[in-house]
Structure 1
């Protein structure tokens, strides 16, 4: 058994997972036994799309949480070295000219260097993480562990990790076959188009941008080949909670939830056109996500609509989506499995 710590630092949110990596069960699969999960909305990518630099206050907000994570890792007896801890930074950090300040700050606080991963590596880790949970198509875990393989996977699945600054699309069966990272997400679309609200003109401009990016993605990933559409991350879990009519965030209800395309698109439309008062009343929507959730729902609706169109053209129209709460964070954790144990 190996105890590890994984940190996923995105454009909007930073998260920590401390887990034990074990190999057990009749299938002999590598599994994660989660011990602690933390999530904080820090908006590290605030203004990066416009300025190309990290804002000083956003940087300090993020590093303050990193220092908290370091204390948690120490309390849970995770060795803070490269063999047991991995810090992955994604879209905003890729774009920021002053990323060296961030890298140095993380190293000082946590003792390890953050990895500024490419969109392709982000996609690979997201796909690996998606296989671990109830919606992954692998062996479903229970409260004692989450499976990292062993399920009967036979049809291509399209995994979509919709973040604040980028959206990864990965097609594969048990491993990625093709992937594309779109330079769009809830924070980026908000700052570019919806900062002053969802007007008809802003809505049209945002959708036109996302559709153009999907055209490029379709050149790299055969969206029409998807037999299963799996959505990851905060925006999609929020859309799912809305579609399910939840009063608060319910991990058990959301993870693995299968929804009809019509239900997903209706929830997206309701969120895109929601009022501030409505968003404040939704117990499953964190305050730090309220101002960007409309943009996130818009991006998800465009992805779903495009996949439906392409699978229909291919003769097997997609009718359902599935939400997975196992995502890139879980993929980072399992990537720390000792040699010979990686999933």
Structure 2
């Protein structure tokens, strides 16, 4: 779950409060088709805190979106009813394509490079690709993400070589249909998988958004991180100084998806950004 409280002036998004809390809402949805009740309870507790933060900040325009886990869940209406009570407004269930467009708007708002751009947004249950210059020209959403791949294949940690190879093949198969109409030299990776991997790659003593934003990861480095993480237990992964312990169970799968996603773009390097769909939502609200 993520929160952004911001002021937007002439297309500039100034962060006032930004939070990320991993609640595991999507765990089990791929297998059971339902949101787990304990995960829902954790999420509602977080959303209630976000609702209070927005009220205290005097937020005048609010929007919440629900993505892959909620899209796929049979009990999504029950969750949304509780989320509405916690937040004071009802989150919208958006399509993967809508999610991709918001990520593109946020990630490309202040890029110091020539277009076109490709934005990759890896979530728990889906991965979005968007190509464009000043607006999306191609976008697609694929049902593969850090939680979904963990639930399907990478439940054991350390992962066996066979499990890891199976997961890599599954990611390659899932992303094989991504067909970017042109090649961009500037590929941007957003959201928790890319930002967490950047922090681990840099061996940061603690997570530092300023060090993560604008950093780069190469495909060979992503492959090294996949191997490194595959050899660790969840507890050892959680002990990495820059790692959010709640992300530790799914970061290996996220790394597998990230490496294959960047390969699909036909480049060797991805630029990591802290700006994402939250910034895109803020820009959209400001334009209304």
Contact 2:6 / 2:15 at 8 angstroms: preserved in 1?
A: yes
- What SS does structure 2 have at the residue aligned with 1:178? strand
Partner of 1:322: 271
How many angstroms does 1:298 deviate by? 0.9
Task: State which of 152, 155, 172 in structure 1 corresponds to 2:115.
Answer: 155
CA distance in 2, matches of 1:48, 1:274: 25
Give the structure with higher Rg (CA). 1
| Worse overlay, 257-266 or 241-250 | 257-266
TM-score (norm 1): 0.79
How many angstroms does 1:226 deviate by? 2.1
Contact 2:222 / 2:255 at 8 angstroms: preserved in 1?
A: no
CA distance in 2, matches of 1:265, 1:37: 30
CA distance in 2, matches of 1:212, 1:73: 41
Contact 2:262 / 2:269 at 8 angstroms: preserved in 1?
A: no
For these two proteins, the number of residue pairs brought into alignment is 287
How many angstroms does 1:266 deviate by? 2.2
Partner of 2:41: 60
Unmatched segments (≥5 aa) in structure 2:
none
Contact 2:219 / 2:259 at 8 angstroms: preserved in 1?
A: no
- What SS does structure 2 have at the residue aligned with 1:85? coil
Kindly report which structure 2 residues correspond to 1:122-161, keeping only aligned pairs within 5 A, or say none. 122-132=99-109, 136-138=110-112, 154-161=114-121
CA deviation profile, 1:194-234 (whole Å, cap 9, x unmatched): 1123122222222222111211122xx33x61211111111
Instruction: Tell me, yes or no, if structure 1 residue 251 matches structure 2 residue 209.
Output: yes
Task: State which of 80, 83, 87 in structure 2 corresponds to 1:103.
Answer: 80
Partner of 1:15: 2
Instruction: Tell me, yes or no, if structure 1 residue 36 matches structure 2 residue 17.
Output: yes
Kindly report which structure 2 residues correspond to 1:270-285, keeping only aligned pairs within 5 A, or say none. 270-276=228-234, 278-285=236-243
CA deviation profile, 1:207-265 (whole Å, cap 9, x unmatched): 222111211122xx33x612111111111111111222212111111101134433333
Partner of 1:234: 192
Task: State which of 156, 176, 198 in structure 2 corresponds to 1:196.
Answer: 156
Task: State which of 82, 92, 109 in structure 2 corresponds to 1:115.
Answer: 92
Q: CA RMSD in A?
A: 1.7
CA deviation profile, 1:21-49 (whole Å, cap 9, x unmatched): 112xxxxxx11121111211111112111
CA distance in 1, matches of 2:248, 2:145: 14
Contact 1:193 / 1:205 at 8 angstroms: preserved in 2?
A: yes
Contact 1:269 / 1:298 at 8 angstroms: preserved in 2?
A: no
Partner of 1:147: none
Task: State which of 147, 159, 172 in structure 1 corresponds to 2:132.
Answer: 172
Contact 1:231 / 1:324 at 8 angstroms: preserved in 2?
A: yes
- What SS does structure 2 have at the residue aligned with 1:127? helix
